[in-house]
Homo-oligomer: A and B are copies of this chain.
């Protein structure tokens, strides 16, 4: 059984959001700016999103009673990260529309299903092999070669749940080191740049993509995003076509990100290899808050409410820098730049590797 299909919510409706981190916080703010209320559902007692939402529920993701009470108080449900249990979404979907739906969530939660989905849609990925036990790892290495990357199929982010399989590595030790979870082994891609497409698809199939972003990572965490990416216009066009294919094949509703590698061949022609997708607003789209007509957060809210999508027009050339851990100690210098927009997530403790905020610099086009 499923909830009645959503047509179009009026202003004043309540958005239910699973997860209360910075993405939930920025979604809640965007919703409020359009006259919507938000109700955050998350297991943590203290969370950045609670402070800017009309209501919040603190309960585990498998608490059927709490989920049901939550659903009764909201008009549509979304989530801020892809590690929400599919069972939670299944339970909620019986009571209220949930966007993105379980297909998008289940696909992006499992690296094996995700890569199989991409390939079935004609989208190139790195070579990969299923690794369900230590024996499978030996066969996978024989197939993919070394070096390669062993990744847990589920619950990896920011480089967690990944290990490089080098020439000298003892495969049994490696497999135990990653927790003996189901994994995939991926061939290493020699890329020149990492890019991402942030796009949205509306309930009526309307599609809109922001200009392609170029991403720089440090310690497996996004460090800097530049827009537009330094790729040919042909490559940018292809990247957006890939995102459009993903959205269409998943019958997707909401904002999502597709991360890709740019791989130049010997003749210098750029090829695209898709790394992964995220069924949600994405760090490499944070620049849209201060650098585009419609932020990715507003765009997501528009999509899940059944509203028309907004303009993805940029206000200039963009540089977005993540503020990780003690990077935020430089807050005063950033404010003093004048043209920089400092966004902080309200987290009290600046742990190493923790995303504390970001800064967007918009350079006028002329």
Interface residues of A, Cβ cutoff 8 Å to B: 8, 10-12, 25, 28-29, 32-37, 50-54, 289-290, 293-294, 302, 307-311, 313, 315-316, 328, 331-332, 335-336, 338-339, 341-348, 357, 362, 364, 366
Chain B contacts for A309, CB-based, 8 A? 338
CB distance from A196 to the nearest CB of B (A): 23
Q: Is the CB of B311 within 8 A of A336?
A: no
- B51 near A51 with CB under 8 A, answer no
A341 CB contacts on chain B under 8 angstroms: 293-294, 310
Asked whether, in the complex, the Cβ of B35 is within 8 Å of the Cβ of A52, the reply is no
Which residues in B have their C-beta under 8 angstroms from that of A293?
290, 339, 341, 362
Whether A32 pairs with B51 at a CB distance below 8 angstroms is yes
Tell me if B307 and A335 are in contact (CB < 8 A).
yes
Are B11 and A331 in contact, CB atoms less than 8 angstroms apart? yes
Give the complex CA separation of A293 and B51 in angstroms.
24
Cross-chain contact of A32 among B310, B311, B342, B346 (Cβ < 8 A): B346
B-chain residues with CB within 8 Å of residue A343 when the two chains form the complex:
33-35
A-B contact pairs, 29 of them (CB 8 A): A10-B331, A11-B331, A12-B348, A28-B52, A29-B29, A29-B32, A29-B33, A29-B52, A33-B289, A33-B343, A34-B342, A35-B328, A35-B344, A35-B347, A35-B357, A37-B51, A37-B346, A290-B293, A293-B339, A294-B341, A307-B335, A308-B336, A310-B335, A310-B339, A310-B341, A311-B338, A313-B364, A315-B315, A366-B366
Which chain B residues lie closer than 8 Å to A344 at the CB level? 11, 33-35
B335→A308 contact, CB < 8 A? yes
Cβ B339 vs Cβ A311 within 8 A: yes
Q: Which residues of B contact A35 (CB under 8 A)?
A: 328, 343-347, 357
Cα–Cα distance between A53 and B53 once the two chains are bound (Å): 8
A339 surroundings in chain B (CB, below 8 A):
293, 310-311, 313
Chain B residues within 8 Å of A302, by CB:
335
Chain B residue at minimal CB-CB distance from A37 = B51
In the complex, what's the smallest C-beta–C-beta distance from A319 to chain B, in angstroms?
A: 13
Complex CA distance for A315 and B292, rounded to whole angstroms: 10
**Cα-based distance from A282 to B280 in the complex (angstroms):** 35
Please give, as numbers and ranges, the residues of chain B lying within 8 Å of A37 by CB-CB distance.
Answer: 51, 346
Bound CA–CA A362/B33 (angstroms): 17
Residue of B with least CB distance to A208: B338
Q: In chain B, what residue has the closest Cβ to A336?
A: B308
Given contacts A32-B52, A336-B308, contact A346 B12 (CB under 8 A): yes
Residues of B with C-beta under 8 A to A338: 308-311
Nearest 3 interchain pairs by C-beta: A35-B344, A51-B54, A308-B336
Question: Once the chains are docked, how many angstroms separate the CA of A4 from the CA of B228?
Answer: 48
State how many angstroms separate the Cβ of A316 from the closest Cβ of chain B.
8
The interface centre, meaning the residue of A36, A52, A289, A362 with most chain B CB atoms within 10 A of its CB, is A52
The answer for the CA separation of A364 and B309 in the assembled complex, in Å, is 19
Q: CB-nearest residue of chain B relative to A32?
A: B52
Contacts of A357 in B (CB 8 A): 35
Task: Give bound CA distance, A36 to B347, whole Å.
Answer: 10
Q: Tell me which residues across on chain B come within 8 A of A10, comparing CB atoms.
A: 331
A53 partner, pick from B11, B51, B307, B335, beta carbons under 8 A: B51
Q: How long is the Cα–Cα vector from A308 to B331 in the complex, in angstroms?
A: 11
CB distance from A33 to the nearest CB of B (A): 6
A44 to B25, CA, bound (A): 26
